[in-house]
C-alpha cells in the first residue's frame, strides 16, 4: 500500500480523510494489525508541550521620528539582541532582566506579547547621519509591531534523558528539583504522542513541513541545533537525545494557552511551547512507526550529580514505567514526574486532528529531507593551531 501527499490532501479537502491521534491509532493497530490500519487511516496527529529553552522571537519595531539605529534594546528591561538592521531584534527566552531578577526573562516577554499585552521598549544608539536619534522609550504590542515571529533553533527533542541525583545534596537543574540519594527522577517527553518518536527516521518530517506551533500554524525551518543521528536505538527508535527541529511561526496566530513562560527555581527561565506534527500514512512502514507505544519507547537514566557531559546511563527505562509514577534504580523504588504535559500534548494532537478534519490544515511535503547522518560535536578547549 502506498499513498502520496496529493492523494491525502484531496481526501482532506473532500472530507473523506480518516484522521486519528497517535493514541487512538495504537488501539486500531492492536485490534486490526498494521496492514489493515494502514489502509484505513490517512493521517496521525502528534503533540508535545514542554520546556524548550532554545527558543526566541524576531521583532521589527518600525522607524521612529527621527529614526534610530538601535544598538541596545530592552523589552520590559530584558535585553534583546540587536546585531541586525536598525529596528530588528531577537529576544531569547532564557535572557534575564539586567537587574538580577531571575524570575522574569525573555519567555515572559514573549508570553505577554502573545497574550496581547503592551511591553515597554527602551533602546539606545550611537547616532549616525541617517539615524540621528540616540534614545527612545515607548510601548509596543503585537498590534504595533510590523513582524513578530517565533524562531526556535532547537525544539521537539527526539527523546531526552531521565534525570536523577545520587549525591547528598539537592540539585536545581533544567530538569527541575532533584532530591538527594535518588529521591526522585524527572523526565520530559510525551512518549507515544511525541512527534519525533512517532517518525523516528524523519521520513515525513523535513524542511517545509507544516506544523501546529504555539496554537497557530508554523513550519519546520531547518534541522534543529544539536541534531544527532549517531545514537543507539531500540525498536527502531533512538534511546538517547537525537534529532531536533528548528521551527518558525507567526506570533499573531498563537495563543498563550500553548506558549507559557516557565521558572525553574534556582536555575532560570524557559518556555513551554506546544508543537503538533501530522504524520501522513504513506505506507505500512509509517503505520508501524506511529503505532509504537510507551511500552516500547525507552529513555536513559542519568545521574545529574556527575558534572560531566560524559555521564553514563544508569539504565534504560520505558515511558510506560516513567508514566506509572515510579521506576526501580539500584534496588530502590524512585518516584517519577514529568516536566512536559501529557494532557496538553493530547489537547494539541486533538486540536490538530480537528483542523485537518475541517479542511483548515493541509499537509505539506518536505522540500528537503533532514540529514540522514549527523554527529554531535562537543566543545573542546584547544589552541588556534589545533582547530585546523
Half-sphere exposure in the Cβ direction for 229 (13 Å, CA): 9
pLDDT value, residue 388: 73
Beta-carbon contacts of 206 under 8 Å, excluding residues fewer than 6 positions away, are 220, 366, 367, 368, 369, 370
Whether the bond into 131 is cis, omega within 30 of 0 = no
pLDDT value, residue 276: 98
- Residues tagged active-site: 130
Grid coordinates given for 64: 521612529
Closest by CA position to 41, among listed 85, 3, 80, 96: 3
Report d(CA 332, CA 177) in Å as an integer: 19
| pTM metric for this prediction | 0.97
pLDDT in tens, 14-31: 999 999 999 999 999 999
Report d(CA 49, CA 383) in Å as an integer: 41
Burial (Cβ within 10 Å: 0-12, 13-18, ≥19) of residue 6: exposed
pLDDT in tens, 58-92: 999 999 999 999 999 999 999 999 999 999 999 99
pLDDT value, residue 99: 84
pLDDT value, residue 210: 98
Domain ranges of the chain: 5-52+151-357, 62-145
Residues of the chain with pLDDT under 50: none
Amino acid at each position: 500500500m502506498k499513498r502520496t501527499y496529493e492523494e491525502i490532501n484531496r481526501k482532506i479537502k473532500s472530507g473523506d480523510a480518516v484522521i486519528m491521534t497517535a493514541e487512538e491509532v495504537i488501539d486500531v493497530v492492536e485490534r486490526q494489525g498494521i496492514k489493515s490500519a494502514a489502509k484505513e487511516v490517512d493521517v496521525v496527529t502528534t503533540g508535545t508541550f514542554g520546556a524548550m529553552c532554545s527558543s526566541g522571537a524576531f521583532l521589527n519595531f518600525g522607524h521612529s521620528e527621527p529614526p534610530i539605529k538601535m544598538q541596545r534594546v530592552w523589552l520590559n528591561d530584558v535585553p534583546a539582541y540587536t546585531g541586525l538592521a536598525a529596528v530588528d531584534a531577537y529576544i531569547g527566552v532564557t535572557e534575564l532582566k539586567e537587574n538580577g531578577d531571575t524570575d522574569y526573562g525573555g519567555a515572559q516577554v514573549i508570553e505577554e506579547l502573545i497574550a496581547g499585552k503592551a511591553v515597554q521598549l527602551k533602546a539606545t544608539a550611537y547616532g549616525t547621519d541617517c539615524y540621528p536619534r540616540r534614545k527612545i522609550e515607548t510601548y509596543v504590542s503585537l498590534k504595533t509591531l510590523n513582524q513578530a515571529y517565533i524562531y526556535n533553533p532547537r525544539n521537539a527533542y527526539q527523546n531526552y534523558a531521565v534525570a536523577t541525583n545520587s549525591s547528598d545534596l539537592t540539585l536545581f537543574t533544567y530538569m527541575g528539583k532533584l532530591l538527594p540519594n535518588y529521591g526522585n527522577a524527572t523526565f520530559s517527553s510525551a512518549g507515544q504522542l511525541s512527534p519525533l518518536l512517532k517518525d523516528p527516521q524523519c521520513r515525513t518530517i523535513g524542511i517545509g513541513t507544516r506544523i501546529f506551533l504555539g496554537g497557530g500554524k508554523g513550519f519546520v525551518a531547518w534541522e534543529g541545533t544539536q541534531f544527532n543521528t549517531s545514537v543507539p536505538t531500540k525498536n527502531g527508535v533512538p534511546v538517547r537525545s537525537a534529532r531536533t527541529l528548528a521551527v518558525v511561526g507567526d506570533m499573531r496566530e498563537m495563543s498563550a494557552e500553548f506558549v507559557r513562560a516557565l521558572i525553574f527555581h534556582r536555575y532560570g527561565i524557559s518556555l513551554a511551547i506546544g508543537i503538533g506534527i501530522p504524520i501522513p500514512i504513506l505506507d505500512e512502514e509509517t503505520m508501524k512507526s506511529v503505532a509504537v507505544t510507551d511500552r516500547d519507547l525507552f529513555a536513559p537514566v542519568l545521574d545529574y550529580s556527575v558534572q560531566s557531559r560524559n555521564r553514563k546511563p544508569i539504565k534504560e527505562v520505558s515511558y510506560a514505567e516513567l508514566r506509572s509514577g515510579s521506576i526501580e534504580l539500584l534496588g530502590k523504588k524512585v518516584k517519577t514526574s514529568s516536566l512536559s504535559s501529557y494532557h496538553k500534548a493530547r489537547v494539541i494532537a486533538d486540536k490538530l486532528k480537528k483542523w485537518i478534519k475541517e479542511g483548515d490544515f493541509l499537509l505539506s511535503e518536505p522540500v528537503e529531507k533532514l540529514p540522514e547522518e549527523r554527529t554531535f560535536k562537543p566543545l573542546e578547549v584547544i589552541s588556534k593551531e589545533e582547530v585546523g
